[in-house]
Chain A
Amino acid sequence: MNILDMTAVSLGAAIKNKEVTVLEATEAVLAQIEAKESEYHCYVTVDREGALAAAERIQKKIDAGELTGPLAGVPVAIKDNMCTEGMLTTCSSKILGNFVPTFSSEAVLNLQKAGAVILGKTNMDEFAMGSTTETSAFGVTKNPRNPEHVPGGSSGGSAAAVAAQECFYALGSDTGGSIRQPASYCGVVGLKPTYGTVSRYGLIAYGSSLDQIGPLCKDVTDCATIMEIIATHDPKDSTSVQRDDTDFTGALVDDVKGMKIGIPRDYFGEGLDPEVKEAVLAAAKVLEAKGAIVEEFDLSLVEYAIPTYYTIAAAEASSNLERFDGIKYGYRTEEYEGLHNMYKKSRSEGFGPEVKRRIMLGSFVLSSGYYDAYYLKALRVKALIKKAFDEAFAKYDVILGPVAPTTAPKLGASLSDPIKMYLSDIYTISVNLAGLPGLSIPCGMDSKGLPIGLQMIGDCFNEKKLIRAAFAYEQARGAFGKKEDE
């Protein structure tokens, strides 16, 4: 079997059984990066020397019996908003274009402890603000399934790198759909865990009450395995939750008999592409045939999720991004008159248009006179949205629907109308508002040959139900989207 065709878990097993060395795997994926990167541009930084050195070091530890985990020696890509000690971390922004962190994020440290070989940092929408990876200051990423289309975003580089076999798995972050939507567009598996499950320490903040790190990978087994490594309680993140149910691989069971699955009618109305609708409902039938109890219901409030999200996310972003002032790190303007002028010029030259748009909106909704009408109003609606989900999960184990209304749009088609771009997140965004876990798994191709994603949403701390349902679906579906030209 070609090394690049292996899943992360199968490669880990092959390394353990001495069928493949860590160096062979790393060299194979670096060669793939070299061959494909000029076309797809998944990475901002590729650390070739670092990866090769890590491969040798990790192989020795595996041989010595010091590293025994399922992903020891498996090469991984990291979204460029997670700090990596000694490796450029840009958030795909000019303002962090020269930033080399002196520490690593907790999620990355957890991977390293498990023997991961870090290949480099993946491209993203600037500060994770966008749905196409086109707001990156370092160029667009193309969808490996069809390079005329976007990979989605904001974790577009991570999703594309997995789909293009330029890594065996990747980390992304999800504030409003930024793992699930690119996973859907690129035909890979992505999971946004329950808020607080993966430490946000070292993740450069966008909307802190919504941000969560999670995996992008080739199948559900990889997803559960990666989650077991990155889900840890971290005292350095005050919203980190202590969980004793993180044995996610235990949920890899091909059995959904009696599982109650709810399909929200409000997710299948106007704006949903008919091909997406058909594929998602066909997937529901597959689970029904395996013994799940599937029924339709009204979730309500769906059309209020996006305005609620943009108010809260912009408010938090305007506050979080105050730290970029041209003093402590990052870009500083060349010419200025005094301190305040330096702040303003550094920020204005360093941030791109979408980031400025959200900082302006966030500053406005938090300003005196508008705080109650906009920001507090959004927090009240958030409480209503959470309540609607609570009621749904009193009846259902899993909510099933599309990830996005369409398959991947063409490059350049989305940015001209921000609200239209924001609408691509309509089915993913409320999951972040309610702190829920959400999983994206490929469930078909449209007539253009672009992948369609199925979304499964669970109640807080119920990732295992998602993993179980997704694993059962995957067993019935079989292998997805093998690239024929490989």
Chain B
Amino acid sequence: MANIISDETIEYVGILAKLELSDEEKEQAKKDMGSMLDYIDKLSELDTEGVEPMSHVFPVKNVFREDVVTNGDTREQILKNAPGQKDGMFVVPRTFE
């Protein structure tokens, strides 16, 4: 079954992905995503009833450490690559009027 990706779906995924696509890119994305999903649909041939989803191959658990501060003041390093900074903080566009 061929997957047809609607304009609404591409708009919605664009919001989730925080990407602003041109009209041309949207058309391409519809085609690409449709054909990728057709390809991925191959997985539905397999019966996975009762199979636990495996996120990690080893039985890894949360790794905890003592709640002790080990790093010093790294503000300068953290801000070093910021496109905008002021008074030791990141500059972002105004978010409310």
A-B contact count (CB 8 A): 166
Q: How far is the CB of B11 from chain A (nearest CB, A)?
A: 12
From known contacts A303-B42, A304-B43, A380-B48, infer whether A435 and B18 are also in contact, taking CB-CB under 8 Å: no
Chain A 93-116, CB within 8 Å of chain B: the 1/0 string? 000001111110000000000000
Q: Is A322 a contact partner of B62 (Cβ separation < 8 A)?
A: no
A332 to B21, CA, bound (A): 17
Contact for B54 among A336, A343, A361, A383, CB less than 8 A:
A383
Q: Is B52 a contact partner of A383 (Cβ separation < 8 A)?
A: yes
* Number of residues from B at the complex interface, CB < 8 A: 51
With a cutoff of 8 Å between Cβ atoms, the chain A residues found around residue B53 in the complex are 376, 379-380, 382-383
| Interfacial residues of chain A within 317-350, with CB under 8 A of chain B in the complex | 318, 322, 325-332, 336, 338-345, 347-348
Chain B 51-69, CB within 8 Å of chain A: the 1/0 string? 1111111101011010000
Q: Is B43 a contact partner of A378 (Cβ separation < 8 A)?
A: yes
With a cutoff of 8 Å between Cβ atoms, the chain A residues found around residue B60 in the complex are 238-239
Q: How far is the CB of A483 from chain B (nearest CB, A)?
A: 39
A382 to B52, CA, bound (A): 10
Q: How far is the CB of A59 from chain B (nearest CB, A)?
A: 30
Contact for A381 among B14, B43, B77, B93, CB less than 8 A:
B43
| Interfacial residues of chain B within 32-48, with CB under 8 A of chain A in the complex | 32-33, 35-37, 39-44, 46, 48
Interface: A196 (CB within 8 A): yes
Chain B residue with the shortest CB-CB distance to A322: B18
Chain B 18-39, CB within 8 Å of chain A: the 1/0 string? 1111000100110011011101
With a cutoff of 8 Å between Cβ atoms, the chain A residues found around residue B81 in the complex are 98-102, 328-330
Interface: A241 (CB within 8 A): yes
Q: Is B57 a contact partner of A386 (Cβ separation < 8 A)?
A: yes
Interface: B17 (CB within 8 A): yes
A209 to B60, CA, bound (A): 11
Q: How far is the CB of B2 from chain A (nearest CB, A)?
A: 14
With a cutoff of 8 Å between Cβ atoms, the chain A residues found around residue B93 in the complex are 336, 338-339, 342
Interface: A195 (CB within 8 A): yes
Interface: A60 (CB within 8 A): no
Q: How far is the CB of B35 from chain A (nearest CB, A)?
A: 7
Interface: A418 (CB within 8 A): yes
Q: How far is the CB of A272 from chain B (nearest CB, A)?
A: 20
With a cutoff of 8 Å between Cβ atoms, the chain A residues found around residue B77 in the complex are 102-103
Interface of B is mostly: loop
Interface: A235 (CB within 8 A): yes
From known contacts A330-B83, A360-B29, A364-B33, infer whether A379 and B55 are also in contact, taking CB-CB under 8 Å: yes
With a cutoff of 8 Å between Cβ atoms, the chain A residues found around residue B82 in the complex are 327-329
Q: Is A100 a contact partner of B80 (Cβ separation < 8 A)?
A: yes
Q: Is B20 a contact partner of A345 (Cβ separation < 8 A)?
A: yes
Interface: A356 (CB within 8 A): yes
A415 to B11, CA, bound (A): 25
Chain A 398-434, CB within 8 Å of chain B: the 1/0 string? 0000000000000000000011000000000000011
Q: Is A343 a contact partner of B58 (Cβ separation < 8 A)?
A: no
**Which of A301, A341, A419 gathers the greatest number of chain B CB atoms within 10 Å?**
A419
Q: Is B32 a contact partner of A418 (Cβ separation < 8 A)?
A: yes
Q: Is A348 a contact partner of B80 (Cβ separation < 8 A)?
A: no
Interface: A249 (CB within 8 A): no
Chain A 339-375, CB within 8 Å of chain B: the 1/0 string? 1111111011001010011011111111100000010
Q: How far is the CB of A233 from chain B (nearest CB, A)?
A: 11
A103 to B84, CA, bound (A): 20
Q: Is B58 a contact partner of A435 (Cβ separation < 8 A)?
A: yes
A103 to B77, CA, bound (A): 9
A344 to B65, CA, bound (A): 37
With a cutoff of 8 Å between Cβ atoms, the chain A residues found around residue B92 in the complex are 327, 339, 342
Interface: A310 (CB within 8 A): yes
A363 to B9, CA, bound (A): 11
Contact for A343 among B18, B21, B44, CB less than 8 A:
B18
Q: Is A359 a contact partner of B46 (Cβ separation < 8 A)?
A: no
With a cutoff of 8 Å between Cβ atoms, the chain B residues found around residue A322 in the complex are 18
With a cutoff of 8 Å between Cβ atoms, the chain A residues found around residue B80 in the complex are 100, 102
* 8 extra interface residue pairs, beta carbon distance < 8 Å, beyond A331-B83, A344-B19: A195-B57, A307-B41, A340-B18, A356-B17, A360-B13, A361-B36, A365-B40, A384-B51
The 8 closest A-B pairs by CB, nearest first: A379-B53, A435-B57, A329-B81, A332-B83, A380-B48, A102-B77, A383-B54, A344-B20
30 A-B contacts, Cβ less than 8 Å apart? A99-B81, A101-B81, A306-B39, A307-B43, A318-B17, A327-B82, A327-B90, A328-B82, A329-B82, A332-B84, A338-B95, A344-B20, A345-B20, A348-B19, A356-B21, A360-B13, A360-B33, A364-B33, A364-B37, A366-B16, A367-B16, A377-B43, A379-B53, A380-B54, A382-B54, A383-B54, A384-B48, A434-B57, A435-B58, A460-B58
Chain A residues at the B interface, C-beta cutoff of 8 Å: 98-103, 195-196, 209, 235, 238-239, 241, 301, 303-304, 306-308, 310-311, 318, 322, 325-332, 336, 338-345, 347-348, 351, 353, 356-357, 359-367, 374, 376-384, 386, 418-419, 433-435, 460
Chain B residues at the A interface, C-beta cutoff of 8 Å: 9, 12-14, 16-21, 25, 28-29, 32-33, 35-37, 39-44, 46, 48, 51-58, 60, 62-63, 65, 74, 77-78, 80-84, 90, 92-95
